[in-house]
Amino acid sequence: MFIGLFLVYSWYTSGPEILASYNYPVEEHSVETTDNYILKLVHIPNSPNARNAQSPKPVVFMMHGMSGSSDSYLLIGPSDGLPYLLADAGFDVWLGNSRGNTYSRLHKYMDPKHKSFWNFSWHEMGTRDLPASIDYVLDRTSQRSLHYVGYSQGATQFLVMLSMRPEYNEKIKTSHLTAPAAFLRNMSTGLGSIVEKVILAFDDREWFSNRHGIPSWASIFCSVRPMKSICAALFMMVYGINGDQISKAIIMLILKTLPAGISSRQLKHYLQLKGSSRFCMYDHGKKTNRLIYGSSWPPDYPLKYVKPKSPINLYYSSSDFVVSEENVLLLAEKLSLCELHHIPYYSHIEFQFARAVGTTLNRPIVKLISKYETDRNK
């Protein structure tokens, strides 16, 4: 595994090339949203390791977290990475990319150099990006519903979609939300209160861009051999990681792909939830709120409408200081039907990159999705 990761790191340019390096077939698709953003989907139609897979294959759609991209699910490779494990198990795997990240920087009329391009939060991702992507995938595969996996902001988008567009409940077979960001009353960002206030004061703009072909300063700095250990140590300190949980090889890859670019409004929207017991829409200020919502304060997302075909699976940890155990249990109280899966020792980022993620998280997810399909076909 680690030799493979070293080779990937040495020439890495994109997730599709990582897939090709492991002999997994890959396709790239473009989807246009109702407000004219053009999103890139990465499709893994089959696996070199899958035999006698049923046809048509059940579909799994996966969505990354804030500042990530479809690459985030691919970095740890075939032995433990969820997209590979799902493809090996005979599923048709699709990876989404939210507006504004490395793969989704196009718009039919606007240029990302202009501030108007960045006038969005994860609200628009849930009400526009995710529905457009899911409809495209179901149309391409001639199926009526699919399985959903979402990490952090990928979980946020899912809850926004089903609460605001409840007709999509019928299009979800099973759902698996890892480190699900919704209620954040005791969130720890590690930024400090002064920095958070500065962030909240910014207007809409692009933050944390990392476009392929333009290496980030972190990628250049950390590629120098004497600096690798220092970069790894700083990374683990910032993210609150146990030194045994994430390998240095993975950290170097993460620094090449993250951050993938976000709108400042995405982070501002999360910070607005901090310290409250609400999961609500974006706060534009009282005057604009009255024009948009008809009230001085943004309304809560109506989670009572979140009712997919099967219980929502929530995966959480006691060691996650971004999405705490308390916040996930509060979310569970608000959902009509869900199942809780406790992983005691994961920090937030370890839900994607921990050494043991294949055993503790990804294979159990594959097992639950497979069981659903088996029971359904009896």
Compute the C-alpha angle 154/319/75, nearest 5°.
Answer: 50
The amino acid at 65: G
Peptide bond into 56 cis (omega under 30): yes
Which 8-state DSSP code applies to residue 73? Answer: G
Q: Is 116 a catalytic residue?
A: no
- Which of the residues 133, 145, 152, 347 is marked catalytic? 152
- Would strands 37-44 and 27-32 be described as parallel, antiparallel, or unpaired? antiparallel
263: Cβ contacts below 8 Å, ≥ 6 apart: 100, 118, 119, 120, 121, 204, 205, 206, 207
Element of type H or E holding 337: none
Give the Cα separation of 168 and 306 in Å (integer). 9
Find the Cα–Cα–Cα–Cα dihedral 192, 151, 309, 143, rounded to 10°. Answer: 140
Give the Cα separation of 2 and 247 in Å (integer). 9
Under 8 Å between Cβ of 368 and 313: yes
Supply the Cα-derived Rg of the chain in whole angstroms. 20
Count CB-CB contacts under 10 A for residue 234. Answer: 14
Give the Cα separation of 38 and 35 in Å (integer). 9
Under 8 Å between Cβ of 61 and 158: no
Q: Is 375 a catalytic residue?
A: no
- Would strands 92-95 and 37-44 be described as parallel, antiparallel, or unpaired? antiparallel
74: Cβ contacts below 8 Å, ≥ 6 apart: 15, 18, 19, 81, 83, 84, 95
- Which of the residues 70, 129, 320, 341 is marked catalytic? 320
Q: Is 348 a catalytic residue?
A: yes
Active-site positions?
A: 152, 320, 348
